[in-house]
Amino acid sequence: MNEIKITPQTYIDMNKEFEEDDIPFRISIPTQEAIDKWQSQPPQHIGVVHNVDMVADMWAEHNRIEEERKLQLELDL
């Protein structure tokens, strides 16, 4: 895996681009030590990973309800 070397200059360049593009956003510029410390930390898991397809489950439930509704209508006739 190719790692990109992040330095304080990276942040300076990003801020310069923000100014050039008239984006009202600035990033505080960390020291190289702070960047190295941040990069040496293990990645944190963000969010919840679902092992099921929730959309498929919702469609299955919808279809089941529709089938029950159709059967009820037939019985009512």
Q: Quick one: pLDDT at residue 2?
A: 65
Question: pTM to 2 decimals?
Answer: 0.52
- The answer on pLDDT for 17 being more than 70 is yes
Q: Domain of 48?
A: 8-76
Residues 33, 8: Cα–Cα separation, whole Å? 10
Question: Does 2 fall in a domain?
Answer: no
77: pLDDT confidence band, cut at 50, 70 and 90? Answer: confident
Q: How many domains does the chain have?
A: 1
Question: Does 1 fall in a domain?
Answer: no
∠ CA 52-54-56, nearest 5°, is 95
Q: What is the pLDDT of residues 49-73, one digit of tens each?
A: 778 788 999 999 999 999 999 999 8
- The answer on pLDDT for 76 being more than 80 is yes
Question: Does 29 fall in a domain?
Answer: yes
Sign of CA dihedral 51, 56, 58, 61: negative
